[in-house]
Structure 1
Amino acid sequence: MVIAVIGAGSIGRRHAANLESLGERTDLIGWRGFDEIAFEKRGDIEAVVIATSTPIRLELIEMCAAQGWPFYAEKPLAWRVAQAEAIHAAGAAVADRSMVGFMMRYHPAMRDLVERDLSGIYGFSFEIGHDVRQWRENWSFAGSYAAEPEGGGVLLDLCHEIDMAMALFPDLNLKSCDAVGHAAFPGVDFSSRLSLASGSGTIGSVAVDYVAPVSVRRAALRGTDAIIDLDFLGPEMRIADGTGETHMPYTFERNDMFMDAMRDFLASVRGQNGSGNPLLPRFDRMRASSLMIANAWETRVFSGVVDMDMT
């Protein structure tokens, strides 16, 4: 049997290579020229990895559900609330065996955080920033999906941080989403900041940007018993409480998260026990994150423009 990877861009190629390194038979299929009718007639498909651009989600998830194929869909699933609702309804038949590609839930710092008692946390912040012009070699922002006014922008591109906040504090509600755009790309956010609050009294923010001259990816949690600072790029965690400060460095490679997620997906497909990660991004558990991301994108308020040469 074959794990089909639909979408032959950088992320699709990564997933295909990882699956092959795990001993799986794969078929990497570009979206252009994809023949759905012929694909559905194949008798060798065990599961599908959806690594297309964001607009191409619903039709493939509908196809997988109709055929009984579990799927691993890259993030984000949608940028509008109605889309997210439709996608989660469409995938219901295979939802408990499918996953969404929020691989940061496999970061060792997140794995450690979820094991802690976070009931005393009253404030948090997540931040990620990266100069979009340095994103990839021989890559043009203007010609990419990210530059599209409908479904583009940094909030969607770097939405892992939104999901991380939702993973740790599931009852969060969106209070506002402020954005900064670019004169050459109307409707595309280059920096966005979400203000969030939970029913239990926790408040926080998620900030994402395409502008930072030095890459940053960090989080801060403030609680009644301890303060926690994380550098996801370091990577390291620092915890300070009444007894002093604990420094926890991590040794791992970025691809380890993709590999661990794919191992869990294969286990889910085959009805086996996976890693036991309590943050497993199983499709039927991801509706709240999907809706938060879509709601934030729809309610962005642009407050200005960034002066950034994109030529």
Structure 2
Amino acid sequence: MVTDTFLVIGAGSIGKRHAGNLAALGEKVELIPYRSFDHAAIGKRNDVAGMVIATATPIRLDLITLCAEKGWPFYVEKPLAWTTEQVDALYDAAAPVAHRSVIGLMMRYHPAIRTLAARDLSNIYSFAFEIGHDVRQWRANWSFADSYASDAEGGGVLLDLCHELDMVHALFPDAAVGTAQSLDHADFPRVDFATRVNLSAPLGTVAMDYLSPVSIRNGSLRGREQVIDLDLLHPTLRIQDGDGDRTQDFTFERNDMFLGLIADFVALSKGAAPSDNPLFPRFDRMRGSCDLVASAWQARQFVGQVGVDFAAKP
């Protein structure tokens, strides 16, 4: 009896995380570095249950096309693309398996975001989300200059930390990009180190940066009948409304979000029902979020530079 295998393409930190989570779920998994990927040999296999695409963003069209041709569901890491033309091409290629596939927007499994999504937000007139962290602190022995993040095409903070834009889309599906201002670096022209995106319907901002000496990830929503503040790192949700002023604390591990999404992907790939998460990022339902990210990237206007010494430790 042949046991179907989940292929994880891309053996960086996120690929290793997905492979470990699949194994923890009892699935057979094969982790393949992209530089070792043999398209012809993989295309001849008949034991593939699905593919996790954890490669750099610019090289995913070939993998998604292969999955569509073979009828394999896929889990593709975020961001999907950085231009609307690329989003078009990827969705066209994915069409045969889009309803059985997902995109790795795991913040939709954060309990605070799920709690927010369950509330009536129709009276919210403004919002703000912010995420920041010194990129030099990310991983030991990691070089920004040698990473995907330093590439003007497919790198930069807006794409790297695009979960916040997806959260906006999950909570306010009609939100649209207005303007975006960015700061780059003399050594990395047109790579955004800090970006602020202005949106409408409702009025809002999303700010992200590679610079903050203290990790921050928070949000605020202002409505005619409620005031909401959230800290996604600790995490807590404070709500002030007609029922008073209360704070809700959440206890969970960061990997719970990755594990929840990969478990839903496994279920979907096997024809079973995923969990009851209404924010489940099934690929065919995520076009609006992918377009929002691409629109924000294309709207960037570089208005200054940052002076970060990448040779120095933070």
TM-score class, shorter: over 0.9
Structure 1 residue 161 corresponds to structure 2 residue 167? no
Structure 1 residue 213 corresponds to structure 2 residue 216? no
1:126 partner amino acid? F
Q: What is the RMSD computed on CA atoms of the aligned residues?
A: 0.8
Matches within 5 A, 1:286-297: 286-297=286-297
- Look up the match of 1:142: 145
Choose from 81, 91, 112 the match for 1:109. Answer: 112
- Look up the match of 1:170: 173
- Look up the match of 1:282: 282
Shift in Å, 1:33:
2.5
1:304 partner amino acid? G
Identity fraction in percent: 57
- Look up the match of 1:50: 53
- Partners of 1:161 and 1:88 lie apart in 2 by 22
- Look up the match of 1:266: 266
Matches within 5 A, 1:13-92: 13-92=16-95
- Partners of 1:243 and 1:256 lie apart in 2 by 31
- Look up the match of 1:224: 224
2:182 partner amino acid? A
Shift in Å, 1:242:
3.1
Q: SS where residue 34 of structure 2 aligns? A: coil
Q: SS where residue 198 of structure 2 aligns? A: strand
Shift in Å, 1:214:
0.3
1:70 partner amino acid? P
- Partners of 2:286 and 2:91 lie apart in 1 by 9
Choose from 192, 202, 226 the match for 1:189. Answer: 192
- Look up the match of 2:124: 121
- Partners of 2:8 and 2:140 lie apart in 1 by 23
- Partners of 1:57 and 1:296 lie apart in 2 by 20
Cα deviation code 1:162-207 (max 9, x no counterpart): 1000111111111101101111110100000110012xxx110100
Task: State the TM-score, normalized to the length of structure 2.
Answer: 0.97
Q: SS where residue 123 of structure 1 aligns? A: strand
Residues 33 and 243 of structure 1: CA distance in aligned 2, closer, same or farther (over 3 Å)? closer
Shift in Å, 1:305:
0.5
Shift in Å, 1:308:
1.4
- Look up the match of 1:243: 243
- Partners of 1:242 and 1:46 lie apart in 2 by 50
Greater alpha carbon shift after TM alignment, 262-271 vs 16-25: 262-271
- Partners of 1:291 and 1:115 lie apart in 2 by 24
- Partners of 1:296 and 1:308 lie apart in 2 by 24
**How many aligned positions are there?**
308
Structure 1 residue 2 corresponds to structure 2 residue 29? no
Shift in Å, 1:134:
0.4
- Partners of 1:136 and 1:85 lie apart in 2 by 33
- Partners of 1:151 and 1:2 lie apart in 2 by 30
Q: SS where residue 32 of structure 1 aligns? A: helix
Q: SS where residue 303 of structure 1 aligns? A: strand
Structure 1 residues without counterparts, runs of 5 or longer: none
Shift in Å, 1:4:
0.5
Shift in Å, 1:243:
3.4
Greater alpha carbon shift after TM alignment, 284-293 vs 251-260: 284-293
1:4 partner amino acid? L
- Look up the match of 1:254: 254
- Partners of 1:129 and 1:243 lie apart in 2 by 32
* Structure 1 moving runs of 4+ over 4 Å: none
Cα deviation code 1:3-40 (max 9, x no counterpart): 11000110000000000000000010010021111001
Shift in Å, 1:80:
1.4
- Partners of 2:249 and 2:101 lie apart in 1 by 32
Cα deviation code 1:253-311 (max 9, x no counterpart): 00000000011101111111211111111100111111111121122100100121112
- Partners of 1:295 and 1:241 lie apart in 2 by 34
Task: State the TM-score, normalized to the length of structure 1.
Answer: 0.98
- Partners of 2:230 and 2:92 lie apart in 1 by 36
Structure 1 residue 131 corresponds to structure 2 residue 142? no
Greater alpha carbon shift after TM alignment, 61-70 vs 239-248: 239-248
Cα deviation code 1:205-262 (max 9, x no counterpart): 1000000110000110111111110000010100011332111000000000000001
- Look up the match of 1:298: 298
